[in-house]
């Protein structure tokens, strides 16, 4: 049995991938920018203090090309991963700085959520946009925009949803996610280094991903509902 794709669905898939690529590049560039200004130039030397996707794709071609395409084909939305290199010795010497670098990525995703939400709210309040497409996975997958306002609204909706996913998922405090690396921000240096050694044990990465994928729906759904009420209260 072959899957049939309409031109509209293919266009929507391209939109999901384009937003994913932009969002993940902003996320990783924020990590790299923060690291550079806090004393670790590793990502800068790799060319990742940039919104150009090419250096990020070169580092993680699987997570930025293959997996996003497969997830859209199989699940209807594009998702994957990227990474910015960090000097492990620098992170061990300055664990709190490393925690700030880890926090920079999720904060950049939250900024895009708020920016897209503000644009959507203004567009809806002044009736510049026809609907609210893309504000959850189901409607974003089904949304087939018509006309320039519909296309723009769909893109904003995807930016809102996808970056909220990136923000929430990355804050789950298990390795290798950013949330795990943010924890030392609330510790003294000695305890933070002990925490880093503990979390760096082999095998924790796989366990962390499994736990994060299991926990994520329970965490994301209430946060998503709260964000919708905060951003779109009174016009939904």
Closest CA to 112 of 173, 155, 59: 155
20-24, 45-49, 118-122, 203-207: the lowest-pLDDT one: 203-207
Range of the domain at 18: 7-232
Quick check: 184 and 99 in contact, CB under 8 A?
yes
The band of 49, judged by pLDDT with boundaries at 50, 70 and 90, is very high
Q: Tens of pLDDT along 71-125?
A: 877 776 667 889 999 999 999 999 999 999 999 999 999 999 999 999 988 887 7
> Is 2 part of any domain?
no
pLDDT score for 1: 40
Q: Mean pLDDT, to the nearest integer, of 4-13?
A: 71
Whole-number pLDDT of residue 4? 62
Catalytic residue among 9, 28, 60, 146: 28
pLDDT at residue 138, as a whole number: 45
152-177: average pLDDT: 91
How many domains, the chain? 1
In a domain, 97, yes or no: yes
20: tokens are 């994913």
- Other residues' Cβ atoms within 10 Å of the Cβ of residue 156: 24
127 in active site: no
According to DSSP, residue 130 is labeled S
Nearest residue to 111 (alpha-carbon basis) of 193, 52, 47, 29: 29
Q: Could you tell me if 95 and 189 are in contact, meaning their C-beta atoms sit under 8 angstroms apart?
A: yes
């Amino acid at each position: 049995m072959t899957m049939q794709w309409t031109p509209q669905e293919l266009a929507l898939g391209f939109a999901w991938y384009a937003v994913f690529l932009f969002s993940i590049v902003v996320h990783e560039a924020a990590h790299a920018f923060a690291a550079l200004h806090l004393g670790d130039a590793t990502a800068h030397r790799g060319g990742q203090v940039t919104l150009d996707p090419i250096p990020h794709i070169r580092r993680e071609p699987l997570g930025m090309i293959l997996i996003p395409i497969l997830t859209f084909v199989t699940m209807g939305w594009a998702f994957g991963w990227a990474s910015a290199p960090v000097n492990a010795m620098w992170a061990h010497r300055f664990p709190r700085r490393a925690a700030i670098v880890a926090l920079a990525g999720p904060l950049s995703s939250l900024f895009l959520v708020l920016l897209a939400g503000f644009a959507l709210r203004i567009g809806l309040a002044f009736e510049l946009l026809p609907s609210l497409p893309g504000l959850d996975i189901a409607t974003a997958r089904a949304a087939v925009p018509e006309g320039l306002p519909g296309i723009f609204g769909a893109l904003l909706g995807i930016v809102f949803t996808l970056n909220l996913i990136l923000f929430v998922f990355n804050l789950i405090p298990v390795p290798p996610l950013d949330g795990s690396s943010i924890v030392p921000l609330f510790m003294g240096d000695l305890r933070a280094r002990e925490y880093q050694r503990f979390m760096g044990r082999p095998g924790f990465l796989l366990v962390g991903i499994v736990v994060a994928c299991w926990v994520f729906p329970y965490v994301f759904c209430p946060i998503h509902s709260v964000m919708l009420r905060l951003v779109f209260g009174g016009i939904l």
